[in-house]
Structure 1
């Protein structure tokens, strides 16, 4: 079976992603705990912390789905759909236009909130459909979700750690 549609060849990618994303999510907790008073004092910043956490842990769950041994393609696709639905619903709520802090420029909000949220929500669905139909590039959508999830999560973590103190 082609690597695009079979989870087995993705195990090294999944192990590396799970470890890195979990470590970064842990560091986010440190960043939030350091600045918790400031985060709670500003409208929209606590939502940004929640979004950062979801962006960082979604790659962990995507990786865990890939690491389940000898599962069927239907099971893998369903699991990808579930992760995408849960993460996408939460990210959709947190990144709605009314949640943007007035201090955050529109371009920053689009680049660090909306685009990562959309990719993290849609790419696993495309991967799942691709696995089921052996089309669309299959699992090759997952690195996009992982990369944008980590980038969006790290950017928001930086804001929570450094930028809110300026």
Structure 2
């Protein structure tokens, strides 16, 4: 008579091997998570700096808008308000991403998913604004408006791509490209702010001269 224990041994070994592989996979996942947390911790100062820069520039934008609010809310100058909105989106995007990446103990997959979602939302809002277009104005043509929005879209698309690399490819080095995305968003927003202030001042000066 065949020993039942002998018959059961292969199944027992098979179950044990499955259990061992599960333990190994869990340990590998835990090790990857710990490495990712340490990697992200090294970026803490960078995200503190970008978040601070974004909120400071957004505050200065509000001050500048308040000084020229009468020129911006005029119906014939909707394009100026649209540019101000696009600039604010860029600052809010960098601030939101910086705060999100400062959150402790997030997994790489969750971080990537958040980056993809936030980047896609801001890209959709900016794309809608770009498609809606703006009326031509002697001091602010459509080409300038589009030229300021296209780099913003590229920055948002880069953030979505970085998020996809983190979520799907599990490649933490993809986060290095966030420096370029943030730099493009902040740099373009600062340049657009300068255009907005200078052209608004010209419009107000011309309107004041005409009234005089």
For this structure pair, what is the TM-score category when the shorter chain's length is used for normalisation?
A: 0.7 to 0.9
Distance 1:97 1:17 in 2: 30
Aligned position for 1:55: 90
Alignment gaps of 5+ in structure 2: 1-31, 203-212
Residue 59 of structure 2 is aligned to residue 26 of structure 1: yes
Aligned position for 1:154: 190
Contact residue 127 and residue 136 of structure 1 kept, 8 A: no
1:141 is displaced (CA, Å) by 2.3
Alignment gaps of 5+ in structure 1: none
Aligned position for 1:79: 114
Aligned position for 1:67: 102
SS of equivalent to 2:78? coil
Alignment: residue pair count: 164
Greater share of helix: 2
Aligned position for 2:157: 122
Provide closer, same or farther for how the CA distance between residues 77 and 101 of structure 1 changes in structure 2, counting only shifts above 3 A: farther
Q: How big is each residue's C-alpha offset from its partner over 1:11-32, in whole Å with a ceiling of 9 and x where there is no partner?
A: 1110000001110011000111
Contact residue 35 and residue 160 of structure 1 kept, 8 A: no
Query: Which has the larger Rg?
Result: 2
Distance 2:142 2:133 in 1: 12
Q: TM-score, normalised by structure 1?
A: 0.86
Residue 35 of structure 1 is aligned with which of 65, 68, 71? 68
Contact residue 130 and residue 146 of structure 2 kept, 8 A: no
Distance 1:96 1:7 in 2: 37
Distance 2:121 2:43 in 1: 23
RMSD: 2.3
Distance 1:109 1:136 in 2: 35
Matches within 5 A, 1:93-112: 93-96=128-131, 98-99=133-134, 101-103=136-138, 104-105=140-141, 108-112=144-148
Distance 1:108 1:81 in 2: 28
Q: TM-score, normalised by structure 2?
A: 0.69
1:84 is displaced (CA, Å) by 0.3
Distance 2:130 2:93 in 1: 16
Tell me: higher relative CO, structure 1 or 2? Use CA pairs within 8 A at least 6 residues apart. 1
1:102 is displaced (CA, Å) by 3.7
